[in-house]
Amino acid sequence: MSAALKLDLRMSPEEFYAFEEKAEVRHEFFKGEVIAMAGGTDVHSLLSSNAIRKVGNALEKRPCRVFESNMRVKIEATGLETYPDASVVCGPPKFQDLRRQSLLNPLLIIEVLSDSTETYDRGKKFWHYRHLPSLQEYVLIAQDELRVEVFARQPSGDWLLRAYDGPEAVVRFECLDIEIAMSDLYAKTPLMGVHPDED
């Protein structure tokens, strides 16, 4: 997700849910503050859709669901409600309420990095995500180079980084027991030699 813009709005959670249902853009919500999320670039969108498609295909015959960025995730321990670029649940999804708009138990979360969000995605947002008891892996996909970082929760509670670089790399998601080629994640992007004006 691209840069966020704090709005001069304070709401209760119930007011936020009603506001969000009618909003034309998505918003993060934290301790009463409403933060507008700006749209991403074509490369950001391609990377997100490539990841969702490839992970979804790999999990097609398993009891897993891959959600795109319209699925809000709520971190109950900290109160943040946000929209990751992708999230995966294996087994029954848990939602905050019957509206099924705020997912509580993602197993894996994917964020595509941008200049405007990288510090947040690596720092405060990851801090929030680490408070999800269900979360086993946090994936960061770079836009400016062929680089994917997978942070995996260890039995000790520590997080171990596995970094993948270059077109020959194969990215492994341990918690899902699947592998995706870097060239598939970056397919049809300039980093794979495809220019925006080409068919």
Q: Count CB atoms within 10 A of the CB of residue 187.
A: 17
Pull the structure tokens for residue 75: 């971190």
The set of residues, in sequence order, having a beta carbon less than 8 Å from that of 59 and lying 6+ positions away, is 66, 88, 90, 176, 178
- pTM score, two decimals? 0.85
Pick the range with the lowest mean pLDDT from 10-24, 37-51, 119-133. 10-24
What confidence score (pLDDT) does residue 195 get? 63
Residue 46 within any structural domain of the chain: yes
- Choice between 20 and 52, residue whose per-residue pLDDT is larger: 52
CA distance 36 to 179: 34
Residue 125 within any structural domain of the chain: yes
CB burial string 136-174: b at 16+ within 10 A, e below:
bbbbbbbbeebbbbbbbbeeeeeeeeeebeeeebebbbe
Residue 32 within any structural domain of the chain: no
Query: Considering its fold, how many domains does the chain have in total?
Result: 1
Residue 20 within any structural domain of the chain: no
Pick the range with the lowest mean pLDDT from 27-36, 93-102, 120-129. 27-36
What does the pLDDT look like over 32-67, one tens digit per residue?
677 766 667 889 999 999 999 999 999 999 999 999
Residue 99 within any structural domain of the chain: yes
CA distance 57 to 34: 35
CA distance 4 to 105: 24
H/E element, 34: strand 33-37
Give the chain's mean pLDDT.
Answer: 88
Residue 29 within any structural domain of the chain: no
Q: Which of 141, 138, 142 is nearest to 150 (CA)?
A: 138
What confidence score (pLDDT) does residue 10 get? 75
The set of residues, in sequence order, having a beta carbon less than 8 Å from that of 70 and lying 6+ positions away, is 26, 83
CATH code, domain carrying 181: 3.90.1570.10
pLDDT at 77 over 50: yes
Residue 144 within any structural domain of the chain: yes
What is the phi/psi pair of residue 7, to 5°?
Answer: -100, 155
User: Where in the sequence is the domain holding 63, given as residue range(s)?
Assistant: 41-72+81-192
Residue 55 within any structural domain of the chain: yes
Determine the Cα angle at 97 with ends 92 and 100, to 5°: 60
What confidence score (pLDDT) does residue 115 get? 87
- Is residue 149 within 8 Å of residue 193, measured between CB atoms? no
What confidence score (pLDDT) does residue 172 get? 98
What does the pLDDT look like over 87-104, one tens digit per residue?
999 999 999 876 788 999
Pick the range with the lowest mean pLDDT from 3-7, 12-16, 18-22, 166-170. 3-7
